[in-house]
Amino acid sequence: MTTALWTGLVALILYVLASALAAQQLRSTNAPQRIGFLGLGTLALLFHACALWHLIVSEQGVHLGLFPVTSLIGATGAAIVILSSLYRRLEWVSLMVFPFNAIFIAAALFIKTGYQPGPLAHGIGSHVLFAILAFAVLAIATSQGILVLIQHYQLKNGHIRGVMRLFPPIQVMETMLFELLWAGVILLWLAIAAGFMFINDLFAQHVAHKALFTLISALLFSALLAGHQLLGWRGVTAVRLTVAAFALLLLGFFGSQLVLEVILKR
């Protein structure tokens, strides 16, 4: 059994256990014991990182195919959630991140596509780094937005149920959402700038459509932040725009990569 396989399987099991423990506490009315599922999540992340290293880095070059990169984004998101939970109440986002990681580490291990590893130029490496960080942060922001939406509707209906009663006030939750959005949008624009600087021919490299969706998403995220600063956009409006902008980002990356690698085998 290869190192990538056994470390990936251990990570998968630990993510499942952490998700189950988080879900159990989510249904409870008692104060959450964060150390349990965040501890399991941290251990899973270490095995996940080891598996990804052996999956992505090889003698032939760097494997940046659909499933390894998706799994890398998930691992980055898990790291951000775990570290942020030391000073911000982001731990419940792990209930979305950990199952995602369990699914896509399995996909990275067992599903082979048409992607061929190759050398990674220094400039393109900066674009990839910024893109992965931006995607991870904006995915967490979208998850946080979903929690804000749940909290908003429960407040509107006049009662807070379950663990939502232990969450910070909705104003604090929204502040956390916009902090994540600011960080993610800055990283996204850096990724776009690096991409335009170092990718010579968008059409020859089959990334023109990806660049278009990413640019529209960045503009929509930026409009949301401007609307928040100038017009006071918040609540349901902010969450809907966040989800719409992130959906475009998903379509740009996952949609195009799925067609190129899985269907066209390029």
Residue 88 has pLDDT above 80, yes or no: no
Are 74 and 108 spatial neighbours (Cβ–Cβ below 8 Å)? Answer: no
Give strand pairing partners of 57: 62
- Per-residue pLDDT band at 206 (split at 50, 70, 90): low
Average pLDDT over residues 117-126: 76
Helix (H) and strand (E) counts in the chain: 9, 2
Token duo for residue 60: 């032939």
Compare 222 and 194 and report the one with higher pLDDT.
222
The number of residues making up the chain comes to 266
Average pLDDT value over all residues in the chain = 85
Provide the whole-model pTM: 0.88
Average pLDDT over residues 26-38: 70
| Segment 11-24, tens digit of pLDDT | 999 999 999 988 88
Residue whose C-alpha is closest to residue 129's, from 177, 47, 53, 190: 190
Residue 195 has pLDDT above 90, yes or no: no
Q: What is the pLDDT of residue 178?
A: 96
Average pLDDT over residues 63-74: 90
- Residue tagged 């959450």 (tokens): 32
Say which range, 2-16, 107-121, 172-186, 236-250, has the weakest mean pLDDT. 107-121
| Segment 160-177, tens digit of pLDDT | 666 566 677 888 889 999
Q: What is the pLDDT of residue 59?
A: 80
Are 81 and 58 spatial neighbours (Cβ–Cβ below 8 Å)? Answer: no
Quote the CA–CA distance of 4 and 241 in Å, as a whole number.
Answer: 38
Q: What is the pLDDT of residue 65?
A: 84
Quote the CA–CA distance of 73 and 79 in Å, as a whole number.
Answer: 10
Quote the CA–CA distance of 179 and 235 in Å, as a whole number.
Answer: 14
